[in-house]
A and B are shown apart, each in its own frame.
Chain A
Amino acid sequence: MYNKLIVLTVILLLTAFSAVPAFAKPGTAVKSKAEKGIGTLFVKNGQVELLRSGKMKWIKAQKGILLFEGDRIKTRELARAAVILDDGSIIRLNENSDLLFKVKQAKKQKRLKLLLGHLWAKIKKLDRGQELEIETPSAVAAIKGTELELKVLPDGKVQLVVWDGLVDFFNSHGKVVVRASQESTSAKDQIPGEPQKANLESRDQWFGSVVAIPSSKTLKLKIKDKDGKEQKLDIKYK
């Protein structure tokens, strides 16, 4: 009887242990509600596309869509978009931009990659130990709570403009610290350039216009004239 019992026990234990890898499904790419959204597309002007992690086909991104690690978002010509991250940080994308939400390597790390184009970011002050890095083709901007602009130039160089706060701008060749109202440019195989004073007032503040545009293409306003009488004003646009 004991021999039978031992054999049965061994079978049960083996079955139980072998069940673990069968259930665990490591690296599953299935999108589900249980997955952790890291951002939401909350402004979309023009054609904005989304490539889900592990997928091959770009789809039209809809306003309000949740973004997960590994997703890519792209703005077409004349299109702009704004993404709000789960900590309240805002990233605005100019036209012809491509942004990847990278899979984080550490629990408190968040990493984006600007593959192409131009972004403006207003990052909420991060908690101690938290990191937000925006990677570009030629350097990485490590942000500690700030407003900044990053632009991938046609020649592959990357321009960083810091509006407020402090950014470590580095690559494998070295690091510079870029402070408010400074800019730096990085190129491949070179240490990022020494920070220079940026003329912020003369810069195109395109990101201020990344607001929701009525889909009806008619903006209807009600205004009161000097007599207090209500007047209607319709503005049509293309």
Chain B
Amino acid sequence: MKRKYACLLTAIICYGMSFQQAYALPNIVYHPPLEAMQGRSLSINATITDPGSSLIQVRLFFRTSGTLGYRVQVMTAAGYNYKGQIPGSVVLSKGIEYYIAARNQAGEIRTSPVLNAANAPHYVVVRKAARAPVVRLLAPEEGAWLTPQEAVMVVAIDAGRSRPDLSTLKVILDGKDVTNQARISETMVSYVPSKELSEGKHKLQVKVRNLDGVAAESAPWYFTISRSGKPESRTEEWKEEPAKALRKFSGSLGTEVQYAALTREPKSTLYLSRPAGWLIRQNLNWAGKVGALDMLGAIFLTDEETPGQQPVNRVSLEIFDESFNFTAGDIYPVFSDYSISNIFVRGGSLTLTSGRPDKAYSKFQALGGMTRVPIEGRFDAAGTFEQWLWGTQWFYNFMPGTGFSLNFSTINDYANSIEEDGGSLPANNHVATSEGRVKINLAPSFSSTIYGEYGLSYYDEAQNLLTLSIGDAFRGGTRWEWGNRSSMDIQYRHTGANYVSLANDWLIGDWEGLAGNAQVYLLDDTLALLANMEMWSDNLDGQKTLTYVDAAGTSVTAGTTRTTYFSGMINYTLSNLIPNLSAGYSFNSQQDDSQPGSVIDNQTSVLNLGVGIQLLLDSDQVLTNISLSQTQYRDLAQDKLSANMDFLSLQCSLIYLRGRNWSFTGGYGLTRSIGDYTGVTLTAVATSSLVEKQTIDYHSINLLANWKAWPGKLDLGLGWENLSGQDDTELVENNLSTISLNSTYYFSSAQSLSLSLMNISYSDRISDINSYGEFVTSLHYGLNF
């Protein structure tokens, strides 16, 4: 009897955990910044946890607001912290749009923003960087002859619309930094030498950046100290310092060596933040000229790459001018929605353009390389990436917004996964699409565009025409644009059952439906209203069967012909205000038409509220963000696989910049997950239905203090982060705590050495085999050239 109960209990726990896994999407904690600076890269840091299964990859999609295609980047992980960087070339005055997508091993994707992220992404206002500060010498006059007693140096700083960043101020007399002895204010700096200056010529120089990071460096000023004053007959020849020759290349080099030691070895490595042992990361970025062409290069090398993972080692080299672009390394080509999109390629791309985008414009692009998509069924084998992609595009615009493109792509799967691994990837998949658009300018800032794309895909698995499979797809719609960046888009999409485009790994086939979205910005972009609607149905035509266990414990197989999906959302933001407010509501539902009754019948609604405040207090600055979201999931198919779940999330963050040497960051997050699994049945063997409720609380706290202990020479940082989860059914009780200490020593403005120590402790009181302790030591050397 006891054994029977034990079996039942085990079954319940296993079911509870598997159920939890099925619904446990990755959890993204991310607070968008209030603004970005034009031309400056923007760092995106998110904390992402995945209670169900380990994350495969986190991607950052970004674009300049008003452009169509997203660029993508794989975010790098350090524990739960994921980092990405939007390059400065994208950060333009129109603003930046981006979203984060995390995918786990179960193939589930969670995005931030939560719903419809691609159409309603995060938006960050981009502010023009203020001009460089102007530094003027007020006293002594250039070339003056002074007695030692007259040596009072006074400098005026005019930072324009911005403010000077006094932590970057340097007063240099005869090559020696005397900043610490200077009297400093935002507009004036004075320096009186503590000892009499020696007779002879002296050089004074002042450097400062503004809060936008724009640097100003005064030309060197010269004056002469003489006890006898300026001799009447003497003329001094001021020798200008030879101007430094412009360097042909500039960039940065970084080398990081990490060693992770296990202080407590787990029996399961499921939650281990990183494997024990050595890890090396090398980073080189440079920009320069090759003849008349510009050149950009980036190399990121590490020994972290593993089969089944997207590229970690990254190399890219770009040589370009206005009409020519050659890129080698990791590229992310985008042709169109139905041809090449959403896929990484490691290879090369050549683009030739003629004309300018604001006039008649044509572009030809040819690319080829190895796709970075793991081959189905071969995740653990070496040589996982065995697909090669070739593609060409010819794009022609008769005038801005009006033109066409022809796209062609082929993917060869040398892994031959269908034959060898029971996969579903065809050996050779070809896709050809044509896309056209006509833009009509109805008024100076009001236009309408009609667009469409038609695509054909074909593959012949056995290469004998008997296995030839052809599919087609179509999408068409209209887009209205007005004002600075308001728009409305309505699109119909149809993807045929046999249409396969392996060059867009997130393309959903065999669907049709309508999508519409509108973004309306009012009051000089201060007030934004974003609305989105999608209505889709998959046309399975009776091909699909679903098997489930009904309330009586009987296994039932039902056929479906159509699943409809509907979603809508509205977002409301008030920016440029104190406080910054945002609110959003989204809704989606899914329903199938299987008989008897629906197997899929659920609704999800999400309500978001956010408040952000930025305050300037003399030299101090305070930034706070509070966001609240409530997600409600209701499964209406109560007698099938069903559950009701609620998520309530509160996230608070505070950044306090104290003077010019201290910064404090703190954050608290609470996510409460309330599950009601009423009506769930286990298996045909366990005939009794279960009534189970589970509430899990996830708390996250982080505190970080940074101190410029020796300004310009030594920075110190101390951080603590704690993530914990606990439920009321004794299935979840874990805690992850990280303490880190960072120190950076600057040998000069070009060279630095950082030492970072991090202690990670994970305890899982339910499954102690997962508990571990890890101590990570990291040494990083950086060189700017």
Interface residues, chain A, with chain B CB atoms under 8 Å away: 1-2, 5, 8-9, 12-13, 16-17, 19-20, 23-25, 28, 30, 32-40, 42-43, 62-66, 68, 84, 86-88, 211-215, 219-223
Encode B624-658 as 1/0 by CB contact (under 8 A) with A. Answer: 10101010100000000000001010100000000
From B75-83, B143-151, B328-336, B390-398, the one touching the partner chain is B143-151
Can you list 29 A-B contacts (CB < 8 A)? Answer: A1-B646, A1-B648, A5-B607, A12-B626, A23-B622, A24-B617, A32-B619, A33-B186, A33-B659, A34-B166, A34-B618, A34-B619, A35-B185, A35-B618, A36-B185, A36-B186, A37-B183, A39-B188, A42-B190, A63-B192, A66-B183, A66-B184, A86-B138, A86-B188, A88-B136, A88-B138, A88-B156, A212-B150, A219-B147
CB < 8 Å: which of A1, A16, A42, A64 contacts B630? A1
Chain A residue contacts of B191, Cβ below 8 A: 64
A16-B611 in contact (CB<8A): yes
Shortest Cβ distance from residue A236 to the other chain B in the assembled complex, whole angstroms = 14
B628-A8 in contact (CB<8A): yes
Encode B407-432 as 1/0 by CB contact (under 8 A) with A. Answer: 00000000000000000000000000
Chain A residue contacts of B136, Cβ below 8 A: 88
Chain B residue contacts of A43, Cβ below 8 A: 150, 152
Chain A residue contacts of B147, Cβ below 8 A: 212, 214, 219
Total number of A-B contacts with CB less than 8 angstroms?
Answer: 128
A87-B166 in contact (CB<8A): no
Assess whether B227 is interfacial by the CB under 8 Å rule: yes
A222-B185 in contact (CB<8A): no
Which 5 pairs, one residue from A and one from B, show the smallest C-beta to C-beta distance? Answer: A34-B619, A37-B185, A64-B192, A37-B188, A212-B149
CB < 8 Å: which of A1, A13, A68 contacts B185? A68
Closest B residue, CB atoms, query A85: B138
CA distance A62 to B190 in the complex (A): 12
A66-B611 in contact (CB<8A): no
Closest B residue, CB atoms, query A44: B152
CB < 8 Å: which of B149, B152, B186 contacts A64? B152
CB < 8 Å: which of B183, B187, B626 contacts A38? B187
CB < 8 Å: which of A17, A66, A214 contacts B148? A214
Shortest Cβ distance from residue A232 to the other chain B in the assembled complex, whole angstroms = 10
Closest A residue, CB atoms, query B627: A12
CA distance A23 to B613 in the complex (A): 11
A86-B166 in contact (CB<8A): no
Assess whether B276 is interfacial by the CB under 8 Å rule: no
Q: A16-B613, A84-B139 are in contact. Are A223 and B626 (CB under 8 A)?
A: no
Q: A65-B183, A215-B149 are in contact. Are A13 and B227 (CB under 8 A)?
A: no
Shortest Cβ distance from residue A38 to the other chain B in the assembled complex, whole angstroms = 7
B228-A223 in contact (CB<8A): yes
Chain A residue contacts of B615, Cβ below 8 A: 20, 23-24
CA distance A223 to B628 in the complex (A): 80
Q: How many residues of B contact A (CB 8 A)?
A: 44
Chain A residue contacts of B8, Cβ below 8 A: none
CA distance A57 to B145 in the complex (A): 37
A33-B185 in contact (CB<8A): yes
Chain A residue contacts of B497, Cβ below 8 A: none
Shortest Cβ distance from residue B331 to the other chain A in the assembled complex, whole angstroms = 44
Assess whether B666 is interfacial by the CB under 8 Å rule: no
CB < 8 Å: which of A5, A19, A28 contacts B613? A19
Closest A residue, CB atoms, query B660: A33
Shortest Cβ distance from residue B206 to the other chain A in the assembled complex, whole angstroms = 14
B154-A84 in contact (CB<8A): yes
Shortest Cβ distance from residue B625 to the other chain A in the assembled complex, whole angstroms = 10
CA distance A7 to B183 in the complex (A): 51
Q: Given A16-B624, A37-B187, A215-B149, list of 9 further CB < 8 A pairs?
A: A5-B648, A20-B579, A20-B613, A23-B617, A33-B185, A33-B660, A37-B183, A43-B152, A212-B152
Assess whether B609 is interfacial by the CB under 8 Å rule: yes
Q: A30-B618, A32-B619, A66-B185 are in contact. Are A220 and B624 (CB under 8 A)?
A: no
Chain B residue contacts of A84, Cβ below 8 A: 138-139, 154
A65-B190 in contact (CB<8A): yes
Chain A residue contacts of B646, Cβ below 8 A: 1
CA distance A68 to B184 in the complex (A): 12
CA distance A146 to B150 in the complex (A): 24
Shortest Cβ distance from residue A173 to the other chain B in the assembled complex, whole angstroms = 36
CA distance A5 to B585 in the complex (A): 13
B578-A20 in contact (CB<8A): yes
Encode B145-171 as 1/0 by CB contact (under 8 A) with A. Answer: 001111010101000000100100000
Q: A37-B185, A84-B154 are in contact. Are A19 and B624 (CB under 8 A)?
A: yes
CA distance A32 to B136 in the complex (A): 22
CB < 8 Å: which of A2, A5, A30 contacts B628? A5
Chain B residue contacts of A36, Cβ below 8 A: 185-188
CA distance A221 to B618 in the complex (A): 48
CA distance A215 to B195 in the complex (A): 12
CA distance A220 to B615 in the complex (A): 55
Chain A residue contacts of B184, Cβ below 8 A: 33, 66
Q: A64-B152, A88-B138 are in contact. Are A221 and B190 (CB under 8 A)?
A: no
Shortest Cβ distance from residue A88 to the other chain B in the assembled complex, whole angstroms = 5
CA distance A223 to B229 in the complex (A): 11
A34-B149 in contact (CB<8A): no
Shortest Cβ distance from residue B160 to the other chain A in the assembled complex, whole angstroms = 13
B190-A33 in contact (CB<8A): no
Encode B129-149 as 1/0 by CB contact (under 8 A) with A. Answer: 000000010110000000111
Shortest Cβ distance from residue A33 to the other chain B in the assembled complex, whole angstroms = 5
Chain A residue contacts of B148, Cβ below 8 A: 214
CA distance A34 to B187 in the complex (A): 9
Residue among A43, A62, A86 facing the most chain B CB atoms (10 A cut-off): A86
Chain B residue contacts of A215, Cβ below 8 A: 149
Chain B residue contacts of A214, Cβ below 8 A: 147-149
Shortest Cβ distance from residue A152 to the other chain B in the assembled complex, whole angstroms = 27
Chain A residue contacts of B192, Cβ below 8 A: 62-64
A63-B227 in contact (CB<8A): no
Shortest Cβ distance from residue B62 to the other chain A in the assembled complex, whole angstroms = 29
Encode B574-609 as 1/0 by CB contact (under 8 A) with A. Answer: 000011000000000000000000000000000101
CA distance A215 to B149 in the complex (A): 7
CB < 8 Å: which of A24, A34, A219, A223 contacts B186? A34
CA distance A25 to B618 in the complex (A): 9
